[in-house]
């Protein structure tokens, strides 16, 4: 009787960890769906691991028949959230016609200087020009390397290899600088800080700088923006799966509670 009650208690706690895990998965899905129209957003996947096991009999234990047990006897203790992995597959490109809308057709990140001097990285290429003519993000953060557009520029051209030039009012072409990209050995190790920005961590490795369109870096496409890579249909299916798994774990808790109630009401 004591062992049965203990087993039911284990099922209660295991199902509780399952509900917590599915709630976390649902939170992740909700964030993906909320950012379905966010420029350069990369979807996140929740990953789980099973918890420790209670071993009653180990596989391979010798028996009285001078043989060994082919299988063991053990019970698990639920699940835990192990990690969230950001998936850096390419999103669809949207043509905007804006000269300062830039998309990376392949691997790489733009470099952005934060207000505290640190360098952050982004796939969001919706750039603007500030009051001093410098190319900045929507939040006014500088693009690195810094590029300034002359006041008398009538058009801006960005080549696939990142060379930025401007046509001036007198018809001359002036080269303004080159946009370089960086990539990482493990981009999933980057830390998201919001505003479509990431910063490097020991897990991501150091940034590797290069020229767009060369040595594995993606080429720059002017007049395009990279949309989110969230697959709405897939996220909806995952949401339904998470909801059902949450309900199943809730049902396990109800069933274990009923069994415990029955066991405590047994009269000798």
Question: What tens digit of pLDDT does each residue of 112-140 get?
Answer: 999 999 999 999 999 999 999 999 999 99
What is the overall mean pLDDT for the chain?
90
Residues 19 and 109 in one domain: no
Residues 219 and 111 in one domain: yes
CA atoms within 13 A on the CB side of 167: 6
Looking at residues 181-202, what average pLDDT do you find? 96
Residues 116 and 208 in one domain: yes
| pLDDT tens for each residue of 206-244 | 999 999 999 999 999 999 999 999 999 999 999 999 999
Kindly report the number of other CB atoms within 10 A of residue 135's CB atom: 25
Total domain count, the chain: 2
Output b/e per residue, 246-259; b: 16+ Cβ within 10 A: beebeebbeebeeb
Residues 120 and 199 in one domain: yes
Query: For position 267, what pLDDT does the model report?
Result: 54
Query: For position 2, what pLDDT does the model report?
Result: 47
Residues 101 and 221 in one domain: yes
Query: For position 235, what pLDDT does the model report?
Result: 97
- To the nearest 10 degrees (0 to 180), the angle between helices 232-264 and 2-34 is 160
Percent of the chain with pLDDT over 90: 76
Residues 98 and 173 in one domain: yes
Query: For position 6, what pLDDT does the model report?
Result: 54
Looking at residues 190-195, what average pLDDT do you find? 95
Residues 152 and 164 in one domain: yes
Query: For position 93, what pLDDT does the model report?
Result: 96
At a CB cut-off of 8 Å and minimum separation 6, what does 21 contact?
48, 79, 80, 81
Residues 49 and 152 in one domain: no
Query: For position 192, what pLDDT does the model report?
Result: 95
Residues 105 and 42 in one domain: no
Query: For position 1, what pLDDT does the model report?
Result: 46
pLDDT at 150 over 60: yes
Distance CA 70, CA 15 (A): 29
Query: For position 247, what pLDDT does the model report?
Result: 95
Query: What are the tokens at 218?
Result: 């993606």
Residues 173 and 116 in one domain: yes
Kindly report the number of other CB atoms within 10 A of residue 181's CB atom: 25
Three-state SS for the chain is CHHHHHHHHHHHHHHHHHHHHHHHHHHHHHHHHHCCCCCCCCCEEEEEEECCEEEEECCCCECCCCCECCCCEEEECCEEEEEEEECCCCCCEEECCCCCEEEEECCCEEEEECCCCCEEEECCCECEECCCCEEECCCCCEEECCCECCCCEEEEEECCCCEEEEEECCCCEEEEEECCEEECCCHHHCEEEECCEEECCCCCCCCEEECCCCCCCCEEEECEEECCCCCHHHHHHHHHHHHHHHHHHHHHHHHHHHHHHHHHCCCC
Name the more confident of 260 and 113. 113
Q: pTM (2 decimals)?
A: 0.86
Looking at residues 89-100, what average pLDDT do you find? 94
pLDDT at 268 over 60: no
Instruction: Give the confidence band of 75 by pLDDT, cuts at 50, 70, 90.
Output: confident
Looking at residues 94-113, what average pLDDT do you find? 96
Residues 112 and 153 in one domain: yes
Distance CA 187, CA 40 (A): 14
Residues 212 and 97 in one domain: yes
Domain that holds residue 181: 93-226
Query: For position 3, what pLDDT does the model report?
Result: 47
Pairing label, strands 191-194, 44-50: unpaired
User: 264 vs 14, 53, 171, 252, 260, CA distance in Å?
Assistant: 21, 27, 92, 18, 6
Distance CA 268, CA 256 (A): 22
Instruction: Give the confidence band of 62 by pLDDT, cuts at 50, 70, 90.
Output: confident
């Amino acid at each position: 009787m004591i062992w049965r009650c203990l087993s039911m208690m284990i099922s209660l706690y295991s199902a509780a960890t399952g509900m917590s895990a599915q709630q976390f998965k649902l939170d992740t899905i909700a964030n993906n769906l909320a950012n379905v129209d966010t420029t350069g957003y990369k979807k996140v996947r929740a990953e789980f691991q099973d918890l420790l096991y209670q071993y009653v009999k180990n596989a391979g234990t010798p028996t009285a028949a001078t043989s060994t047990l082919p299988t063991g006897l053990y019970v698990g203790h639920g699940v835990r959230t192990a990690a969230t992995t950001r998936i850096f597959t390419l999103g669809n490109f949207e043509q905007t016609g804006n000269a300062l809308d830039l998309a990376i057709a392949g691997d790489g990140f733009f470099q952005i200087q934060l207000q505290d001097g640190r360098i952050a990285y982004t796939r969001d290429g919706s750039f603007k020009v500030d009051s001093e003519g410098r190319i900045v993000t929507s939040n006014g953060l500088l693009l690195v390397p810094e590029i300034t557009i002359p006041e008398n520029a009538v058009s801006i051209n960005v080549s696939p290899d990142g060379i930025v030039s401007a046509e001036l009012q007198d018809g001359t072409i002036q080269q303004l600088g080159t946009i370089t990209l960086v990539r990482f050995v493990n981009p999933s190790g980057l830390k998201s800080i919001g505003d479509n920005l990431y910063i490097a961590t020991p897990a991501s490795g150091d940034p590797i700088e290069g020229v767009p369109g060369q040595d594995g870096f993606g080429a720059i496409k002017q007049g395009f923006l990279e949309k989110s890579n969230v697959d709405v249909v897939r996220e909806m299916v995952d949401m339904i799966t998470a909801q059902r798994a949450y309900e199943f774990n809730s049902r396990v808790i109800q069933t274990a509670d009923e069994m415990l109630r029955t066991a405590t009401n047994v009269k000798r």
